[in-house]
Structure 1
């Protein structure tokens, strides 16, 4: 057994184990998530591949060749491993495994609700799809798009995305190959562990922000979007215009879910969303075209081409609605000085 006495903190009965050497985003996040739970709040960490040392650990992630939640073993590298998150197709990494087993507790803890509450399940699934799944795919070498299908279609990448995916953010915190390292093995490992701790903190900050957003902003918006969606026929007989009274909220995810759940036909899907720029009586209003998907730059029905790039009186003359402020050059959003003006723009855009 290797000498780890100099490498771990004392005073804690809980020891988390993961592998040493080059680290990845999945185990860095797995360790962070565990540390947010009361059981692991004061846990020590050892990074090793020594089976004898790992056997002394309370919980082991991303190493050891074993997945057994009853024994707190969460590795995914064994040949027989095929586990996925409920309802999702992507094979899990250590981050996905830890989140699958402990994520509900993390969400409930943040919401200060029972784990059986509806909102807990909604956010548990949403955070996996929006954040964790990308890490699982990255660590398992799974592309977001089928490479063969892209090649067959002749689709080429137009530019570099800058390498700022979640995996790359953690990967660049590894020591460089030519960094000077201590000659003493224990000191060298401690030096490497310092880099890992920085990486775990970094990816953990992103996870914490994601969880904060979905618990504090996204979930409270759900009821508001549902109410606006239920009233959409008051503004357009085909339900193509949705209006928020007083203030806009994060609406895209909730809208897509409502339409999917209700199996809405394309002709009756929402095309434009109206909302004030700020919660004030004299606020200007925005008209936003609904994208074809959450992250798409393509709109279901962009504002008319003849309006695009026009502003103020020039826009009034072109579209025939007074009070125009602007229409973006791509047609995904526009503005008017009043609700009545924005609504008239939406009515006209629907008829194009």
Structure 2
């Protein structure tokens, strides 16, 4: 889809004749990001923006997002507000917003451009799915009023927030950039629309910067780490007969997401990794860390925290309670600890597994 869309949209003037249309008035994160993502591609790099609800003006636009009541990729129309709209991203349940629609059709082209690989490459496909789940889907849900948790089930379980989160989501961040209700409005309608458009472009750039940071991380850090984690996962039985200890011998990389994927691929019968060992720095005399694997991504709970008697201990005190020389520290929650040598941190892992 992304490949055919990108090929279809090539122009001879670098995109200067292309107009993107979206609605005026109160703006949201989905169309702000949709416009930004389109402008990452050569076809749209120099495009102009028309913010209106006038069908006649929208008809003059090359591409229209989040307005117009039409989803037709062949005509570059990407609205999701019509009653008949039910499109979701492949393998995901969340109904798309205009951001999701643009990403569905152009995401692979954006990733391929950053990765410098063909759109149909396996790496582009992996990142296309990952970035949707990690970034875009939350915006789709926010714009369509879909909760991350079933409100009825939360109510039935009597679960309430322990504290106010401040409501700082990507959607809220964009929403705060809209004009305030009591801001002065120019009397000239053209000036008023220009002022509103300027705020929209600020919002589009702001959320777009977050998208670009996410894209850059997954292209330059997350994807290269995948092979390293795969190799460490294969070698885990060299350090523990049950495969409960995984070791990064050169330096640590972003490992959690890849580890969960590898374990899922092996199935429920596989022994779960409990501890990950890695040097603090990629130098020969570096101290080593032992980190307990969280029960799930983003969780503060560990599958098996380091033993309670070790928690909060440092240096000689840690040596005494653990029986392993060279101790540096163990965090009070037991999720991480350190030793001066690999042999020491490996001994901590062996004792923790047996505790």
User: Residue 270 in 1 paired to residue 273 in 2?
Assistant: yes
How far apart in 1 are the matches of 2:341 and 2:185? 64
Give 1:135's match in structure 2, choosing from 139, 154, 164: 139
Cα distance, 1:162 vs. partner? 1.7
Query: Where does the alignment leave 5 or more consecutive residues of structure 2 unmatched?
Result: 1-14
Deviation at 1:246, TM superposition (A): 1.5
SS in 2 for 1:174: coil
Structure 2 residue aligned with 1:6: none
Output the CA distance in 2 between the equivalents of 1:70 and 1:261.
Answer: 37
Determine the C-alpha separation between the residues in 1 that align with 2:243 and 2:46.
54
Deviations along 1:112-134, one digit per CA (max 9) or x if unpaired, are: 00011110000000000000000
| Partner residue in 1 for 2:332 | 329
Tell me the TM-score normalized by structure 1: 0.96
- Superposition deviation, residue 248 in structure 1: 0.1
Q: Which residue of 1 aligns with 2:154?
A: 150
Unaligned runs of 5+ in 1: 1-10
* 1:265, distance to aligned residue in structure 2 (A): 2.8
Matches within 5 A, 1:289-308: 289-308=292-311
Q: What secondary structure does 1:239 align onto? A: coil
**Structure 1 outlier segments of 4+, above 3 Å:** none
Out of 267, 281, 285, the residue aligned to residue 282 of structure 1 is 285
The SS at the match of 2:246 is strand
Residue 273 of structure 1: SS of its match in structure 2? strand
How far the C-alpha of 1:161 sits from its partner, in A, is 1.3
Aligned length: 341
Partner of 1:70: 74
SS at match of 2:64: strand
CA distance in 2, matches of 1:161, 1:123: 29
Name the SS of the counterpart of 1:148 in structure 2: helix
Structure 1 position 305, deviation (Å): 1.1
Structure 2 SS opposite 1:144: coil
Find the partner of 1:200 among 182, 204, 207.
Answer: 204
Q: Indicate the residue corresponding to 1:349 in structure 2.
A: 352
- TM-score normalized with structure 2 length: 0.95
CA deviations 1:197-251 (Å, max 9, x no partner) are 0000000000000000000000000000000000000001110000001100000
- Name the CA distance, whole Å, in 2 between partners of 1:265 and 1:200: 46
Aligned equivalents of 2:308 and 2:166: distance in 1?
32
Query: 1:40-51, aligned counterparts within 5 Å?
Result: 40-51=44-55
Aligned partner of 1:232 in structure 2 is 236
